[in-house]
């Protein structure tokens, strides 16, 4: 019988439009494998929220493989070592995988390629990183020219159908998913996750279909947190339950500003990966490094640590910020407009280093993505290769009114639910209910402090 082919799944947990799976299926019997490699990832091991999603996504993919009388083989350990042993044990001719660009995955791919026939395929992005370059052949650093050049190459291809799978004569042993304890035990902090999300490839396509029906309104609705105007595709895209090529193809049937705006956000995802390829440690190292005098870091005093904790817990006294941080804790996700407001508040109102926010989001987001998370935080902090100026300070109270966040605040800050639309954005004085905190710092005071710190380090 033809030698089996191993498919190494990572953030590509789908059967359709999965180039590595298609190539392996065309070459012989397929052994699907997922390796939980906390050792190789080191400090970038998946956060708690991502692990919750991973558990359910793997369970869903295993059930889908069951339609082919196939299954997912689960192993735990350093990926390159686990896969090399598995290839020897099964007599696999090749290991197929979709390319990943995070530093720890690049190191694993390089090491694995020394011991097995590793076949790498593109499939996590609209275009392979490095495909979009300037006239001189250099990678772009700024989003706008990157996106303009990328659009000229899109669509690069059509999505692939789900392949038929042949199975090996013998299956290697694998771990039991439950033994990985990816889910919380006691207390179970993820009860809100299950209410907010359906996980898996089928759920991703259901979500895309629902979003496509309302995408014409997306240009405006995406900024209104009280409306369900977001795509909510980000965790499905992050875990590869649906590919960006599939999303682009589906939305190509829809004209108008809304669909075009969302296509621009898919391109931002490609752009963020393009940045990581140029600067692999971007989520840890500022591109434009400021003097340590700018940040009030928590290790410099307990009052600063208390400010960070108040932000994490949604107890800043700014309802739009608190609503976002509480939504994040309960659902593992936050509305994109509110993400910008909450992130800006941390780095500019509180003058706390953006990396503390990036780490909190890494642990709490179900869509925590190495490139997107790092690029977005450096954009808001003004430290990035392409970023907002630090001196542009978002006013959370104004943003809350402008984008009609009253309903959103009532949902996530229930102690303010009885206030009127006029009062709820800034419940000062007699309108502030007992139990809701006073502002951690006034907006005017925070703005003046931030600008003074900026002038000093500039």
Instruction: Please report the sign of the dihedral spanned by the C-alpha atoms of residue 353, residue 359, residue 360, residue 361.
Output: positive
The full length of the chain comes to: 458
pLDDT given at position 187:
84
Buried b (16+ CB within 10 A) or exposed e, 304-330: bbebbebbbebbbbbbbbbbbbbbbbb
User: How far apart are the C-alpha atoms of 215 and 208, rounded to whole Å?
Assistant: 10
Question: Radius of gyration over alpha carbons of the chain, in Å?
Answer: 23
Closest to 92 (Cα-Cα) out of 172, 212, 156: 172
User: How far apart are the C-alpha atoms of 192 and 282, rounded to whole Å?
Assistant: 31
Task: Delineate the domains of the chain, giving CATH numbers in brackets.
Answer: 5-123 (3.40.50.620), 125-155+200-278 (1.25.40.80), 298-457 (1.10.579.10)
pLDDT in tens, 41-98: 999 999 999 999 999 999 999 999 999 999 999 999 999 999 999 999 999 999 999 9
Which residues does 7 contact at the CB level (< 8 Å), separation at least 6?
20, 21, 24, 30, 31, 32, 33, 95, 96, 97
User: How far apart are the C-alpha atoms of 180 and 398, rounded to whole Å?
Assistant: 45
pLDDT in tens, 310-341: 999 999 999 999 999 999 999 999 999 999 99
pLDDT given at position 430:
77
* pLDDT tens by residue, the chain, 458 residues: 699 999 999 999 999 999 999 999 999 999 999 999 999 999 999 999 999 999 999 999 999 999 999 999 999 999 999 999 999 999 999 999 999 999 999 999 999 999 999 999 999 999 998 899 999 999 999 999 999 999 999 999 999 999 999 999 999 999 999 999 999 987 889 999 999 999 999 999 999 999 999 999 999 999 999 999 999 999 999 999 999 999 999 999 887 899 999 999 999 999 999 999 999 999 999 998 765 678 887 666 567 889 999 999 999 999 999 999 999 999 999 999 999 999 999 999 999 999 999 999 999 999 999 999 999 999 999 999 999 999 999 999 999 999 999 999 999 999 999 999 999 999 987 788 988 999 999 999 999 999 999 998 87
């Amino acid at each position: 019988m033809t030698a089996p082919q191993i498919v190494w799944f990572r953030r590509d947990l789908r059967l359709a439009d999965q180039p590595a799976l298609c190539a392996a299926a065309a070459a012989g019997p397929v052994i699907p494998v997922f390796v939980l490699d906390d050792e190789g990832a080191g400090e970038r091991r998946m956060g708690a929220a991502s692990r919750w999603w991973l558990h359910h996504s793997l369970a869903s993919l295993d059930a889908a493989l069951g339609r082919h009388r196939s299954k997912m083989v689960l192993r735990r350990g350093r990926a390159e070592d686990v896969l090399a042993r598995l290839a020897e044990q099964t007599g696999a001719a090749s290991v197929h995988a979709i390319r990943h660009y995070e530093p720890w995955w690049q190191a694993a791919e390089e090491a694995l390629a020394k011991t097995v026939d590793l076949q790498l395929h593109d499939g996590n992005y609209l275009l392979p990183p490095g495909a979009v370059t300037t006239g001189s052949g250099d990678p772009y650093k700024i989003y706008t020219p990157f996106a303009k050049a990328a659009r000229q190459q899109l669509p690069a291809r059509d999505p692939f159908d789900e392949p038929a799978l042949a199975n090996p004569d013998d299956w290697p042993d694998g771990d039991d998913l439950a033994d990985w304890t990816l889910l919380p035990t006691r207390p179970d902090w993820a009860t809100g996750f299950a209410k907010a999300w359906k996980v898996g490839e089928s759920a991703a396509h259901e979500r895309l279909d629902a979003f496509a029906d309302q995408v014409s309104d997306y240009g405006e609705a995406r900024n209104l947190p009280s409306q369900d105007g977001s795509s909510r595709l980000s965790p499905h895209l992050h875990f590869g339950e649906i590919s960006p090529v599939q999303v682009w193809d589906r939305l190509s049937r829809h004209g108008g500003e809304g669909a075009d705006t969302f296509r621009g956000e898919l391109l931002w995802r490609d752009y963020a990966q393009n940045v990581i390829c140029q600067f692999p440690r971007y989520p840890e190292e500022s591109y434009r490094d400021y003097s340590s005098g700018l940040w009030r870091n928590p290790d410099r005093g307990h009052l600063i640590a208390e400010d960070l904790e108040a932000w994490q817990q949604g107890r800043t006294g700014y309802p739009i910020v608190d609503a976002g941080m509480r939504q994040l804790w309960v659902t593992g996700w936050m509305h994109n407009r509110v993400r910008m407001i909450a992130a800006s508040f941390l780095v500019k109102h509180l003058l706390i280093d953006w990396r503390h926010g990036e780490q909190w989001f890494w642990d709490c987001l179900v869509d925590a993505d190495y490139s997107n998370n790092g690029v977005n935080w450096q954009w808001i902090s003004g430290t990035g290769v392409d970023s907002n100026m630090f001196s542009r300070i978002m006013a959370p109270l104004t943003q809350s009114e402008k984008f009609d966040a009253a309903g959103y605040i009532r949902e996530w800050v229930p102690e303010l639910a009885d206030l009127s639309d006029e009062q709820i954005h800034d419940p000062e004085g007699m309108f502030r209910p007992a139990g809701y905190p006073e502002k951690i710092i006034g907006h005017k005071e925070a703005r003046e402090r931030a600008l003074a710190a900026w002038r000093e380090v500039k």
